[in-house]
Structure 1
């Protein structure tokens, strides 16, 4: 994947950009709000710490980000590379409404119509990547950016872990709730051949999170009681009551999530399959208060916003 990247010298930053404020920070570095002096356009400036990433890794992310920018549901990244003493820097279009994570209400989620708008746009972005032989590998609510608070226009972002389909990857340093079971099961001596099914599983987790305001589990492993509860229910779903934290979801929504949560990666449906479910209800008419009161004391620790 060849991309022409313009290199900007450090001294040109102050000449070309006004730094306005910090938008966020993490272990990777910081995101700043800046303004292009020439055209007066606001933008996001992502600073990645050099002691946390190799130059080759950063340039791969930059290349993927720029190449994927043609899609309307993927954040636009400008073909500019800036290096300073402690950071590598890329510039992106500004998402003025923050991240999808920012608008989730604990034990509630976001409105169902907004969930469906998110589902269609994210699935389109992922499908675009998958058809080009790429796996995102880091789909989560923090990496979905909002152009407006009602999710009419959202953008997939953060391609730092993106790799080509067929790449061999090792176990991650830690497990997060969005990881598919085949990733959670990896030992230090094992490798996994990447396929789009990794993103499909994470997409299902993301939909559950924004529908309910809960994480479905900590880890997709049998040692996780909540995950085991779901996997025990699934083969008996026709005659067994839903697990408590899933009761707010309709049968149609459970069927939809089921095609993304197939334990065998090759049995998971592609993400664009979500479009077949947008005309059916995804939540029941059961009061969210009733369903959540039953498990509030026991499971409050894995609320989405607090996690």
Structure 2
């Protein structure tokens, strides 16, 4: 296989690895992709391997060999902690650097949180406590994370928090001596103000006067707590360009913003201490740990800081993922999307701005634009109910089966109760179906046989739905929904749709800015499946990069635009 073009991530992976790869891509960053692996000739343990494309990182990105090496050194230096992803080893060849890590079997935490709703006080308290534990441990080792945000907060199989991605970590203390950092880095909604407003007379990404990276971590933890409780960020960026932040500063933290009004008084008190604009006045970790809200009792929190009720917690979180079909979609995305065929990006007129839209500062973000157009869709498919008979990715094989599939598409707003009983039984075990029910709750069958958190709330994304409608109806509706949401999409010709029907799948590449003007990239994948001899389409929204809550919001908006074709409980 010849090397891939510069800037692409399709260069052949190393062949002399001390483990065996067992998955397609399960995660992606600006310069890296992640896959699962196991030891040679053994099924366990399953670990995660981060592959960094050196050519793309060095030639078209901002990374250097020194920075990659520093990530590995600091990650190994951290050692083992219950709430920090453990580094197991590393290596490289001419094209790639790889890092072997503990696998977060529970997936992304914020993929399991409802946008604009949050998780409630007890669950927020559990995960904030574990985040503070992880950050406190890192700081005790002299390491600051510098990139604390939802994309980097993962879960174990039991639902415990795991802090990940140390590509921007920095050593702020060595041999008892403190040092300041000068690099401008971070995601604008989560970054501390002293980094954004610092003077940069020499280079755009280097401050004249350094900042205390560990104190900046505390600011980011505060924003994450806000998002856990509310389901949205308090501002786009901590500058006067954001009206929300401007009012927050002017009122000394007693803003009239409706999101702050949703916070319980004790959480608001803690956040005002963590989000002090002056870093010298900002709460220390000790002040956070002694705050009344932090020390409150919580039935989900065990004495050793772990999740005390994995099944109950997963059940509660799954029940909170809900799509209200009576509400209209909100236009909070803008950008461009492309289908499988190559096409030019289309600029769009930014004429409709959501609540969280300020003229975002084009600062040095932690997720620079990934060459999505050069990256083939190679993501691992979440396991369907493969243990049940009657489910297949193959197409109908007889005229009668094909007719059944076509007949099913004539119904509007299809319900599971309209399907054969055996199909109902299979689909009722799909956790993603619960989000479309208008009656809150989780079926008892989900919890009766569950032994761990991931048995109820799986690692894969809930951003998916099933439709009995044919692709020649479904695909145009998806493309129209993207246009309606301000995400222009290409037209698919009849031959292209016919080709997709024959292959059983099609992928729409999506690249946009979210409601906070940050990059949001991924694919909408439609794949055919068989249930009891009848064809259906499974539609998955696969995020490649960007904020998980914003991706969840995007998924909900598309579903609300095409709700009549989404299979629902009932």
Structure 1 residues 174-207: Cα deviation after superposition (integer angstroms, max 9, x where no partner): 7511111100102332242334110010010010
Look up the SS of the partner of 1:48 in the other structure: strand
Q: 1:206 is matched with which residue?
A: 224
Match of 1:73 among 80, 83, 86: 83
The equivalent residue for 1:44 is 48
Distance 1:95 1:136 in 2: 18
Q: What residue is the counterpart of 2:117 in the other structure?
A: 108
- Check the 8 A contact 1:127/1:272 in 2, yes or no: no
**Is the radius of gyration larger for structure 1 or structure 2?**
2
2:362 paired with 1:306: no
Partner of 2:36: 33
Aligned partner of 1:125 in structure 2 is: 134
CA distance in 2: counterparts of 1:163 and 1:229, whole angstroms: 32
Matched, 1:274 2:294: no
The answer on 1:63 being equivalent to 2:73 is: yes
Query: Displacement of 1:25 after TM fit?
Result: 1.5
| Gaps in structure 1 of 5+ consecutive residues | 1-8, 282-292
Q: Which structure: greater helix fraction?
A: 1
Pick aligned residue for 1:164 from 144, 150, 171: 171
Task: Tell me what 2:380 maps to.
Answer: none
Aligned length: 277
| Equivalence for 1:232 | 250
Q: Does 1:85 align with 2:94?
A: yes
Question: Which residue is equivalent to 2:504?
Answer: none
**Aligned pairs for 1:127-142 within 5 A:** 127-142=136-151
Question: Which whole-Å CA distance do the structure 2 matches of 1:128 and 1:242 have between them?
Answer: 35
Contact preservation (8 Å) 1:209, 1:215: yes
Q: 1:19 to 1:280 in 2, by over 3 A?
A: closer
Contact 1:129–1:136 (8 Å) recurs in 2? yes
Give the C-alpha shift of residue 119 in structure 1. 0.9
Deviation at 1:304, TM superposition (A): 6.8
Q: Can you list the C-alpha shifts for 1:70-108, whole angstroms capped at 9, x where unaligned?
A: 221111110x22213332100111111212221121111
Q: Is the 8 A contact 1:74 1:155 kept in 2?
A: yes
**Could you list the per-position Cα deviations for residues 154-179 of structure 1 after superposition, in whole angstroms to 9, with x for gaps in the alignment?**
1111111111221431334x751111
Partner of 1:217: 235
Structure-1 separation of matches of 2:137 and 2:276 = 22
Shift of 1:145: 1.2
The superposition leaves residues 48-90 of structure 1 with CA deviations (integer Å, 9 ceiling, x where unpaired) of: 1213132221121112112213221111110x22213332100
TM-aligned CA distance change 1:18 to 1:131, over 3 Å: closer
Against the structure 1 CA distance between its residues 11 and 31, is the aligned structure 2 distance closer, same or farther, given a 3 Å change threshold? closer
Counterpart of 2:395 in structure 1 is: none
The CA RMSD measured in Å over matched residues stands at: 2.6
Residues 133-154 of structure 1: CA deviation (Å, up to 9, x unaligned): 22110111111110147x4x11
SS of the residue corresponding to residue 31 of structure 1 reads strand
- Give the structure 1 partner of residue 189 of structure 2: 177
CA distance in 1: counterparts of 2:288 and 2:124, whole angstroms = 11
Offset of 1:226 from its aligned partner?
1.1
Q: What's the counterpart of residue 54 of structure 1? A: 64
Separation of aligned partners in 2, 1:167 and 1:305: 32
Gaps of 5+ in 2: 1-12, 58-62, 173-178, 202-207, 299-326, 332-353, 357-514, 517-546, 552-570
Contact 1:123–1:272 at 8 Å: present in 2 too? no
Q: Which residue of 2 aligns with 1:24?
A: 27
Match of 1:258 among 269, 272, 277: 272
Q: Tell me the SS of whatever aligns to 1:267.
A: coil
The answer (yes or no) to whether the contact 2:48–2:103 under 8 Å persists in 1 is yes
Cα distance between partner residues in 1 of 2:355 and 2:16: 51
Q: 1:216 to 1:35 in 2, by over 3 A?
A: same
Residue 72 to residue 304, structure 1, CA distance change in 2 (3 Å): closer
Aligned-partner SS, 1:217: coil
Query: Are 1:193 and 2:249 matched, yes or no?
Result: no
Contact 2:127/2:161, CA 8 A, preserved across alignment: yes
State how far apart, in whole Å, the 2-side matches of 1:85 and 1:232 are.
Answer: 53
SS in 1 for 2:21: strand
